[in-house]
């Protein structure tokens, strides 16, 4: 068993466990409002995962990812409204279309370093927001578009999605599988390459790594995952409006990433879920919710830059796990021979 296989085995185990945990939640929670809240949190967890990948693997902070999120809904909504293709085709077209778009735009934007990248994505995101709010013919302007799903989708009855437990499990599976796929990718050579580039692009070039394409691919992955969140939201709400593309949405997602911590892939998702659940918990103070979260953001940045996931990982890390991974593999190999 190689190190690679061991890692993939662990990822597969984690995915299976998380899917089972989601099933338990879907089956035991009966309150429709709680399930709907959990679905919303899960969708934003996918969004945050997308933003987090970019930060974790490229070290880049995007202030414009809401564009990918909103595009997911808009592309499907417009394709369906004009009856250009079947809903199944529209979903596939939207997903791969946005992935291609992220890839192409990535070639241009990832060349820009540091703060300038943040400003560039901010401008890009606001451009989409403005187009969506102004083009009344295409996007319905500020009123947005209702998405009219057909009766069946990929052979499933559409009424499944109006059932809160089914919708939650659908979104949850999307989140868990995304994290699994991204984790497997990051454990591969590609992940190592992007980390080398992130830490020192110049040295990575010296040892013969072509640095542009991996960075573009990370951007593409990040945009595509975010678009998946947009598609999920289109399922849940059957509605899309320019508000979902506003820069403050990108900022909120970024905030979830920071509070959750982005060193671990599940960190941003945890941040998103913490955001929604604690907003519900503060109850009467909910109107001051953003301020509370703003303070939390500042506290995390200043005192715990690794976020909730970093703190949790430190808390639960036992000695056996703390051993270097390579030593663990050697140990495993010895056991087998």
Q: Given candidates 2, 28, 115, 207, which one binds other proteins under the rule CB under 8 A?
A: 115
Residue 298 has a CB neighbour count (10 Å cut-off) of 10
- Of residues 179 and 300, the one with the C-beta less far from other proteins: 300
- SS3 per residue for 177-202: HHHHHHHHHHHCHHHHHHHHHHHCHH
Task: For residue 9, state whether it binds other proteins (rule: CB under 8 A).
Answer: no
Query: Which of these, 170, 210, 178, lies nearest to 194 by C-alpha position?
Result: 210
Helices and strands (DSSP H and E) totals, the chain: 16, 4
Cβ atoms < 10 Å from Cβ of 201: 16
Per CB under 8 A, the segment of 36-44, 127-135, 189-197, 309-317 that binds other proteins is 127-135
Cα 71 to Cα 315: distance, rounded to the nearest angstrom: 39
Q: Which stretch binds other proteins (CB under 8 A): 44-52, 96-104, 110-118, 188-196?
A: 110-118
User: Between residues 134 and 331, which has the closer beta carbon with respect to other proteins?
Assistant: 134
Q: Which stretch binds other proteins (CB under 8 A): 121-129, 166-174, 227-235, 313-321?
A: 121-129
Using rule CB under 8 A, residue 272 touches other proteins: no
Stretch that binds other proteins, among 31-39, 275-283, 301-309, 311-319 (CB under 8 A): 301-309
DSSP state of 113: -
Of how many residues is the chain composed? 337
Q: Does 305 bind other proteins (CB under 8 A)?
A: yes
Site mask, other proteins, residues 208-247, x = CB under 8 A? --------------------------------------xx
Q: Is 200 in the site for other proteins (CB under 8 A)?
A: no
User: Does the CA dihedral 228-147-279-142 come out positive or negative?
Assistant: positive
**How far is 259 from 293, CA to CA, in rounded Å?**
9
Binding to other proteins by CB under 8 A, coded x per residue (else -) over 60-89, reads -x----------------------------
What's the rounded Cα separation, in Å, for the pair 169 and 97? 26
**Residue number with CB closer to other proteins (21 or 119):** 119
Burial level of 261, CB count in 10 A (0-12/13-18/19+)?
A: buried
End-to-end CA distance of the chain: 11
What is the contact surface with other proteins in residues (CB under 8 A)? Answer: 61, 108, 111-120, 122-124, 126-127, 130-131, 134-135, 246-248, 251, 254-255, 258, 287-288, 290-291, 293-298, 301-302, 305
């Amino acid at each position: 068993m190689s190190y690679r296989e061991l890692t993939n085995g662990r990822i597969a185990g984690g995915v299976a466990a998380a899917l089972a945990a989601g099933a338990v939640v879907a089956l035991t929670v009966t309150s429709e409002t709680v399930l709907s809240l959990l679905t919303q949190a899960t969708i934003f967890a996918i969004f945050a995962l997308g933003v987090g990948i970019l930060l974790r693997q490229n070290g880049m902070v995007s202030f414009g990812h809401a564009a990918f999120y909103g595009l997911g809904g808009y592309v499907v909504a417009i394709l369906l409204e004009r009856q250009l293709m079947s809903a199944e085709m529209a979903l596939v077209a939207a997903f791969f279309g946005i992935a291609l778009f992220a890839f192409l735009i990535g070639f241009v934007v990832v060349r820009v370093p540091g703060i300038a990248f943040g400003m560039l994505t901010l401008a890009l995101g606001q451009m989409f927001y403005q187009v969506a709010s102004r083009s009344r013919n295409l996007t319905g302007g500020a009123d947005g578009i209702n998405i009219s799903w057909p009766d069946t989708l990929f052979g499933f009855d559409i009424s499944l999605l109006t059932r809160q437990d089914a919708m939650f499990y659908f979104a949850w599976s999307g989140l868990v599988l995304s994290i699994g796929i991204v984790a497997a990718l990051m454990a591969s050579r590609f992940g190592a390459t992007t980390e080398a580039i992130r830490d020192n692009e110049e040295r990575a070039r010296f040892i013969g790594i072509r640095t542009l394409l991996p960075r573009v691919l990370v951007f593409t992955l990040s945009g595509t995952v975010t678009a998946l969140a947009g598609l999920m939201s289109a399922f849940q709400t059957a509605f899309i409006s320019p508000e979902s593309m506003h820069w403050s949405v990108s900022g909120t997602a970024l905030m979830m990433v920071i509070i959750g911590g982005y060193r671990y892939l599940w960190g941003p998702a945890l941040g998103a879920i913490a955001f929604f659940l604690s907003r519900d918990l503060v109850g009467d103070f909910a109107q001051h919710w953003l301020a509370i979260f703003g303070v939390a953001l500042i506290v995390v940045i200043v005192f715990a830059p690794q976020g909730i996931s970093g703190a949790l990982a430190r808390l639960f890390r036992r000695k056996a796990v703390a051993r270097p991974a390579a030593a663990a593999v050697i140990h495993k190999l010895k056991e087998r021979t």
